[in-house]
Amino acid sequence: MFMKIKSAEFIKSATAEAHYPPDDMPEIAFMGRSNVGKSSLMNSLLNRKGLARISRTPGRTQLLNFFIINNAFRFVDLPGYGFARVPVSIKREWGAMVTHYLANRARLVLSIHIVDSRHEPTRQDLELHEWLVHHQKPVLTVATKSDKLGRSDLGRNLKRMREQLAGEVIPFSSLSGDGREQVWSSVQQAINGLYPLT
Ligand code: GTP
Ligand code: MG
């Protein structure tokens, strides 16, 4: 099932809660390591090439970026974690900023956790996943860049990830569009208040 995208617009960037838009409609947040493909996933779902900035330089997105879709729900592009060259003080700020958002947003209906289908989940991937489950946040894991692997390697990695991250992992590629329909159906379910907790 694909959702018809009538409109998709950038609203604003924020760091502190005072600058978030009002907590008055469902939000779907995109999170994961720097450079994993968060912005690409968002753009691919929305069929809008340049809506969320895609960069070759990891760690570019340092703010919470809010987008409004069909005047009915929002996508929130979160800054990536795990970029080695970021100083410790900034890493701490990053953690505080993102955890504050995730912990306090009443209308956060789905956290889309994006991992790289080629690699084992990192320690930070596992920590984030545990944090989301522990705080009873509805979470969907998406293993992106699936186009970079052959069928059997992809199948093996997905099986391992489903064990390590306990739950469904959807393979996805922003190049081929693989997995778009499945991600959309989870988003739709979450907006309708029917997404199951892990
Ligand atoms: P930051 O905001 O910097 O943390 O990065 P991000 O997670 O938003 O990643 P972004 O979407 O900017 O993509 C990073 C790089 O990966 C870009 O060069 C993309 O073109 C590439 N990329 C993203 N998704 C895919 C995919 O599904 N397949 C392939 N082959 N490349 C991808
Ligand atoms: Mg990005």
Residue 83 CA: nearest ligand 1 atom is 4
pLDDT of residue 168: 85
What pLDDT does 55 receive? 59
Give me the count of residues in the chain: 198
Q: Give the position of tokens 């968002």.
A: 42
Residue type, 126: L
> Cα(126)–Cα(79) distance, rounded to whole angstroms?
17
Predicted confidence at residue 160, as pLDDT, reads: 95
62, 79 Cβ separation under 8 angstroms: yes
Note the pLDDT of residue 85: 65
Q: Are 183 and 168 in contact (CB under 8 A)?
A: no
What is the predicted pLDDT for the residue at 8?
Answer: 94
124's tokens: 């930070």
What residue ranges line ligand 1, CB within 6 angstroms?
34-40, 54-56, 58-61, 80, 144-145, 147-148, 173-175
Q: If DSSP states are collapsed to H, E and C, what string results for 159-173?
A: HHHHHHCCCCEEECC
164 C-alpha vs ligand 2 centroid, how far in Å? 25
Q: 31: CA distance to ligand 1 center in Å?
A: 12
Q: How far is the CA of 146 from the centre of ligand 1 (A)?
A: 12
Q: Of 9, 100, 20, 13, nearest to 63 (Cα)?
A: 13
Give the domain ranges of the chain.
12-191
pLDDT of residue 133: 93
Q: Pick the ligand that lies closest to the CA of residue 60.
A: 1
Domain 12-191 belongs to what architecture? 3-Layer(aba) Sandwich (3.40)
The answer to whether the beta carbons of residues 111 and 31 sit under 8 Å apart is yes
Nearest alpha carbon, ligand 1 atom 26: 145
The one-digit pLDDT tens for each residue of the chain (198 residues) are 568 999 999 999 998 999 999 999 999 999 999 889 998 999 999 998 878 776 555 555 578 999 999 999 999 999 888 766 666 776 777 788 899 999 999 999 999 999 999 999 998 899 999 999 999 999 999 999 999 999 999 999 999 999 999 888 999 999 999 999 999 999 999 999 989 887
